[in-house]
Amino acid sequence: MAVAKLKAPRGTFDVLSEDALKRRELHRRAWAVLGRGGYRPFETPVFEDTELFKRGVGDSTDIVRKEMFTFEDRGGRSLTLRPEGTAPVCRAYVEHGMHKLPQPVKLWYWGPFFRHERAQAGRYRQFSQVGIEALGSDDPSLDAESVLLLAEVLEAAGVRGATLKLSSLGTRESRESYLGKLRRYLHEHEGDLSEDVRARVEENPLRAFDADHVGTRAVMAAAPRLLDSLSPEDAEHFAEVCALLDDACLGYVVDPTLVRGLDYYTRTVFEFESDKLGAQSGVGGGGRYDGLVAELGGPPTPGVGWAAGVERILLASETKFPAAPRPIYVAIDEMGTRRQAFGLVTALREAGVRSELEQAGRSLKGQLRHAARIAARGVFIVGDGIEWTSLDTGEQRPVGGVQEAVRIAVGVVT
Ligand code: AMP
């Protein structure tokens, strides 16, 4: 009977070694950029109480309505694989009383996230994000710093020519009066709107700006804009963020239709898009969320941050990430023994030299071919004695013993 082939679940993927190396390298570069900005690494669990995302991300968002991987544990408690990182970080901030630390608290994270989306190129059900959060200050320089750090991470990753879109959603209070205006406008044009948007006019009218539906897009092109209805304080905050980005010579487009798909945003929102990504053009984005910590039961605490997709960054990147470092190869001829070869490779590794040995029963000829295939810098052939061949210069010479071999190898790799 044929056995059904097992495959990775839909929307997930294995990270093969070559990609794993690129991801490690991206992690290293992101850490360097974010560390310079004063952000410290942080981790939260991959699953949380479902309630956190319902309250934090918002009941009316696509993420909570349609995209969460929610399950019951054996005690009947509802848990959800995290679809995003901001609500968990805010939960941790409250749980650990981090408002008592010097503010702002600046954190960065990297890890897997889960959304039950239609799988397609650049859109997965398990994907990785790198992200930052700065909690405890509403200073506009934090917004500007946040945007600049994402620009720098993209730059360090070799993503060129991404477009930065920027807007402000105002505070929740100033948004309320605007939302009334927008709802009235949407009701007036109800006939041209998609069913989905029409159903959410009361609950979440801003989402109409995100719609792909042609009729809805036409209606939204002439809709009243939040950016024109900001309170004087919000407008001033936004102007200051823009001025700081101007001073830093970072180009951006003010896009009043930018709303982003999560409920918690206030004031600054931004997104980087790359035309190298096709339909899924968002590389990373974020914004300010001054009400979220209080929403989760903490003291009123402003915050700002972003998340960027690791897979999308690598898809959009033009950098050739470095290949694996070249090893030294230890071969065995018919006079040599496994114990000699193993002893030599162990000594090389203890000395910090990346090295490999024959472990697949190859002939000497096969071993030398293999050494070339793995781009070895040189080969020690263990037999009667030890012989060194540099695969870079072709130089060949007998070696007095293990210690001399280690000296040669260290000299070659450094
Ligand atoms: P968001 O939290 O929706 O703002 O997403 C931030 C970034 O994460 C996006 O710009 C994408 O780069 C990435 N991202 C979001 N959803 C997915 C997904 N389903 N697959 C791959 N990357 C994603």
Decide: 123 in ligand 1 pocket, CB within 6 A.
yes
CB contact at 8 A, 130 and 22: no
Residue entry with tokens 């009361």: 202
Tell me the mean pLDDT in the region 385-405: 96
Q: Are strands 266-273 and 163-168 parallel, antiparallel or unpaired?
A: antiparallel
Q: Are strands 303-309 and 282-288 parallel, antiparallel or unpaired?
A: antiparallel
The predicted-structure confidence for 69-111, as pLDDT tens digits, reads as follows 999 999 999 999 999 999 999 999 999 999 999 999 999 999 9
Q: What atom of ligand 1 comes closest to residue 84's alpha carbon? A: 2
Position 261 pLDDT exceeds 70: no
* Tokens read off for 72: 């019951």
Tell me the mean pLDDT in the region 134-155: 98
Position 205 pLDDT exceeds 80: yes
Probe residue for ligand 1, chosen from 13, 61, 120, 129 as the CB with the greatest number of ligand atoms within 8 Å: 129
Q: What is the mean pLDDT of the chain?
A: 94
Q: What residue owns the CA closest to ligand 1's atom 21?
A: 123
Residue 127 has a pLDDT of 98
Tell me the mean pLDDT in the region 391-409: 96
Half-sphere exposure of 327 (CA within 13 A, CB side): 18
Residue 321 has a pLDDT of 81
Tell me the mean pLDDT in the region 385-392: 97
End-to-end Cα spacing for the chain: 56
Residue 140 has a pLDDT of 98
The predicted-structure confidence for 336-383, as pLDDT tens digits, reads as follows 999 999 999 999 999 999 999 999 999 999 999 999 999 999 999 999
Tell me the mean pLDDT in the region 231-241: 96
* Tokens read off for 338: 């496994």
pLDDT band at 1; cut points 50, 70, 90: low
Tell me the mean pLDDT in the region 267-271: 96
SS3 content of the chain, % helix, strand, coil (to 5): 40, 20, 40
Ligand 1 centroid – CA 260 distance (Å): 11
Decide: 113 in ligand 1 pocket, CB within 6 A.
no
In degrees, to the nearest 5, what angle opens at C-alpha 312 toward C-alphas 25 and 131? Answer: 70
CB contact at 8 A, 399 and 408: yes
* Tokens read off for 64: 């909570």
* Tokens read off for 381: 């052939």
Ligand 1 centroid – CA 26 distance (Å): 17
Tell me the mean pLDDT in the region 126-152: 98
pLDDT band at 332; cut points 50, 70, 90: very high
Q: List the one residue out of 380, 346, 348, 347 whose CA is nearest residue 364.
A: 380
Say what percent of the chain tops pLDDT 70: 99
The angle that helices 140-156 and 232-247 make with each other, rounded to 10 degrees, is: 40
In degrees, to the nearest 5, what angle opens at C-alpha 365 toward C-alphas 361 and 368? Answer: 90
Tell me the mean pLDDT in the region 118-128: 93
Q: What residue owns the CA closest to ligand 1's atom 16?
A: 123
Q: Which long-range contacts (CB under 8 A, 24 or more apart) does 238-244 make?
A: 238/168, 238/267, 238/268, 240/140, 241/140, 241/143, 241/144, 241/147, 241/166, 241/168, 241/268, 242/166, 244/140, 244/141, 244/143, 244/144
Decide: 309 in ligand 1 pocket, CB within 6 A.
yes
Residue 116 has a pLDDT of 97
Residue 305 has a pLDDT of 98
Tell me the mean pLDDT in the region 46-54: 97
Q: What residue owns the CA closest to ligand 1's atom 9?
A: 284
Q: Which long-range contacts (CB under 8 A, 24 or more apart) does 393-402 make?
A: 402/343, 402/344, 402/347
Tell me the mean pLDDT in the region 18-32: 95
Decide: 264 in ligand 1 pocket, CB within 6 A.
no
Ligand 1 centroid – CA 357 distance (Å): 42
Of 66-70, 261-265, 334-338, 376-380, the one with minimum mean pLDDT is: 261-265
Ligand 1 centroid – CA 282 distance (Å): 7
